Chain A
Amino acid sequence: MAEVRLRGIRKSYGPVQVFDNFALDIRDGELLCLLGPSGSGKSTLIRLIAGLEPLEAGSIFIGPRDVTALEPRHRHIGMTFQGYALYPHLSVRRNLSYPLQVRKIADAEIARRVTSTAAQLGIGHLLDRRIRQISGGEQQRVAIGRAIIQEPELYLLDEPISNLDASLRESVRGELRRLQQTLGATMVMVTHDQMDALAVADRIAVLQQGKLQQIGTPRDLYRRPANLFVARFIGRLRMNFLSGRVAEGEGGAPMLHGDGFSLALPVEIARRLDSARGEIVVGFRPEAVEILPTQVAGAISVVAAGELFHGEQTIELFDRGEEQVQAMLAVPLGLKRGSSAWLRPAPDALHFFDRETGERLADKDATREETR
């Protein structure tokens, strides 16, 4: 069993406080992606789990063991580092066997495990090369090999695919996912690329400035981002945001009024809102809009600003005064620049946020992260 529990973690570097009273649960056998922008504390978090950074407060459990006071070598973790941290003065073979040699495993067993690990990762032909003599993608495999050869129950991978070029990333993502499933191990993978996280993770934990913004399945995060930060961060295309105020429409139905639009506000949200409370931000994804030539209810007035070709899809760019809005469509519309159009988001694909706090305003299926 290798679930990981972090409780009340506090950590600073000099005057820079990275974590304060931070808690996180990682489930046994899951692939958890730590997602966040640069400097959000992802590396620091896994270095804390590995025991490479001293804690100021809090405790860390791996399975039933309290490892808070244990040295890294006693935590039994397979880890890869952001720059791979391979040993340049040793051959690939010695890099792979190093963890077994320091643990005084018998030579025959080491040889067997090196061969099988190298075969599993397709690096058998590189064993006698130096690290300098292999490519970046091959180095990444050696780094992963050095982690899995120890057969640990917990893996910590710091940006394992970020340094690879785009075509390689795609295939390595799939391989990592398959590897994690074959190993049946708990894996924490750091990435700052949300596409990597959405593609491979069982669950994603979004970090910003050392605060856990949201944790949930990729679907959860995509469908119900907990706040503006997550909404902005997740998704292939940036979500569109408009702000408006709550007002009473015809027949007393609650409406959200903004510059050039007026949208029906779900009663569940309106009921919980004190209408004097100020501005609401509504977000909708470019994938969930229709473009209309004439004004209808629930449509937003925009001005065409150009088109981007994306293979199967086309991205239409629009201006709304200073703001930009985009829509992704299967069929290019060929709108003339400067012509006006109306954009209608699908009513069930609207996300409402409190402008001040950035928090999501609860909607009808408002069970935040599904409990388990």
Chain B
Amino acid sequence: MIPTFGASFRRGLRAFAAFLVLFVFLCPVLWMLITAIKPPGEWLNSPPIFWPSNIDLGNFTEALGRWGGFKGLVDSLAVASGATLLSLVVGVFAAYSLGRFRTGGETLSFSILSVLFMPPVAVAVPMYLFWRAFGLLDSFTALILQYTVFNVPFICWVLKSFFEDIDPTMEESALVNGATRWRAFVDIAVPLARPAIVAVALLSFIFSWNEFFFAVILTRARVTTLPVILPTLMEGHDIRWGSIAAIATIAALPVIALTFALQRYLVRGLSFGAIR
């Protein structure tokens, strides 16, 4: 069938709209990448320079070395992976319990969810005093636990409805077939919820990786995640835009890579309850 003029026109219009949206969203990312490879003189040139005269990787060495980007990368990885792992362990068990056994009824699951509605500023000072009382300021422990507190409610909420949607007779048949509750959970419930588990793991990782506010408040020099390094580069007269762009690039890459690697789970895992 030959497409009518109207149909192909509409298709063209839609492609154009999509292009426009992508352009608006990707422009800053592109500018970040370009700035990261520009030599110092071209950062804030007027008129703007759209492609550097020669590709300069000095920004990256400066960012990783002089500005502590390497330590930032390692610390960020440690904090984000630690928080993600811990959140997953707590969150998956809690969500299964809430979804399958209705532990605590609606009240408990809603109170857990309500943590997400609380503005972080409201607890910033109390949390600072709390960690100080335990002598845990500027420690991995504090940051990992703090992020876990924020990740778990989110994980619970997504996974609870996922577990609720898994037909309980599958686990029950495992019980009759000789499995313990634990075996039924591990063999049946967890594999069936895997797309959702991967999705919430990724989102927890991204949250912990990007988090700035509590990282600034709870850490000094011993623990420095990438987001807290950025503002230190903006102090003084000589703002190192190239290094800032380089650190931002380094910070963005793992998240982008993970998202692409796991995107087939993301789509399935975040369309709630679509298991079959």
Chain A: residues with CB nearer than 8 A to chain B?
47, 50-52, 71-73, 75, 77, 79, 81-83, 85-89, 98-99, 102-103, 132, 146, 150
B177 at interface by CB-CB < 8 Å: yes
Residues A102 and B172 in contact in the complex (CB < 8 Å), given A89-B191, A89-B192:
no
Apart from A73-B178, A81-B172, A146-B177: 5 A-B pairs, beta carbons within 8 A: A73-B176, A85-B167, A85-B170, A85-B172, A88-B276
Q: How far is the CA of A129 from the CA of B269 in the complex (A)?
A: 24
Give the complex CA separation of A10 and B134 in angstroms.
Answer: 53
What are 12 pairs between A and B in contact, CB < 8 Å? A73-B175, A73-B177, A75-B176, A79-B173, A81-B169, A81-B172, A83-B167, A85-B172, A87-B174, A87-B188, A89-B192, A102-B187
B141 interface residue (CB < 8 Å to A): no
**Closest chain A residue to B188, Cβ basis:** A87
Is B14 interfacial (CB-CB < 8 Å)? no
Interface residues in B219-276 by Cβ distance below 8 A to A read 275-276
Check: B179 CB closer than 8 A to any chain A CB. Answer: yes
Determine if A102 and B176 form an interchain contact, defined as CB atoms under 8 angstroms apart. no
**Chain A residues within 8 Å of B275, by CB:** 88
Q: Which of B175-197 contact A (CB under 8 A)?
A: 175-180, 183, 187-188, 191-192
Expressed in whole angstroms, the Cα–Cα distance for A77 and B176 within the complex equals 7
Residues of B within 8 A of A79 (CB): 173, 176
A88 to B178, CA, bound (A): 19
Cross-chain contact of A102 among B167, B179, B192 (Cβ < 8 A) = B179
Cα A52 to Cα B183 with chains together (Å): 16
A277 and B216 CA atoms in complex are apart in Å by 90
List the A residue with the shortest CB-CB distance to B179: A102
Q: 5 shortest A-B CB distances, which residue pairs? A: A99-B177, A85-B169, A85-B173, A72-B175, A102-B178
A102 to B183, CA, bound (A): 8
**Whole-angstrom distance between the alpha carbons of A99 and B174 in the complex?**
7
Query: Interface size of B by Cβ–Cβ distance < 8 Å?
Result: 19
Give the nearest-CB partner of B276 in chain A: A88
Tell which of B178, B192, B276 touches A103, judged by Cβ atoms closer than 8 Å. Answer: B178
Query: Nearest chain-B residue to A98 (Cβ)?
Result: B177
> How far apart sit A79 and B188, CA to CA, in the bound complex (Å)?
17
A50 adjacent to B188 (CB under 8 Å) = no
Separation of A79 and B169 alpha carbons in the complex (Å):
11
Q: Are B177 and A52 in contact (CB under 8 A)?
A: no
A79 to B167 Cα, complex, angstroms: 16
**Which B residues touch A83, using CB under 8 A?**
167, 169
Q: Pick the contact of B192 from A72, A88, A132 — CB < 8 Å? A: A88
Q: What is the CA–CA distance of A99 and B187 in the complex, to the nearest angstrom?
A: 12
Residues of A near B180 (CB, < 8 A) are: 71, 73
Are B188 and A73 interface neighbours, CB within 8 A?
A: no
Residues of A close to B172: CB separation below 8 A: 47, 52, 72, 81, 85
Q: Which residues of B contact A77 (CB under 8 A)?
A: 176
Q: Which residues of B sit under 8 angstroms from A98, Cβ to Cβ?
A: 174, 177, 187
- Specify which chain A residues have a CB less than 8 angstroms from the CB of B183 in the assembled complex: 102
Q: Which residues of B contact A102 (CB under 8 A)?
A: 174, 177-179, 183, 187
A198 to B149, CA, bound (A): 60
Expressed in whole angstroms, the minimum distance between the Cβ of A79 and any Cβ of chain B is 5
Q: Provide the bound-state CA to CA distance between A85 and B188, in Å.
A: 11
Q: Is the CB of B178 within 8 A of A52?
A: no
Interface centre among B173, B175, B183, B191, by most A CB within 10 Å? B173
Interface centre among A85, A132, A146 (most CB of B within 10 A): A85
**Bound Cα distance from A98 to B171, whole angstroms:** 12
**Which residues of B in the span 61-118 have a Cβ within 8 Å of any Cβ on A?**
none
Q: Are A52 and B167 in contact (CB under 8 A)?
A: no
Please measure, in the bound complex, the distance between the C-alpha atom of A73 and the C-alpha atom of B169, giving whole angstroms.
Answer: 14
B170: which A residues are within 8 A, CB to CB? 85-87
Compute how far the CA of A71 lies from the CA of B177 in the bound complex, rounded to whole angstroms.
11
Chain A residues contacting B178 (CB-CB under 8 Å) are 73, 99, 102-103, 150
Least Cβ–Cβ distance between A294 and chain B, in angstroms: 60
The residue of chain A having its C-beta at the shortest distance from the C-beta of B180 within the complex is A73
Q: Which of B169, B175, B179, B191 contacts A82 (CB 8 A)?
A: B169
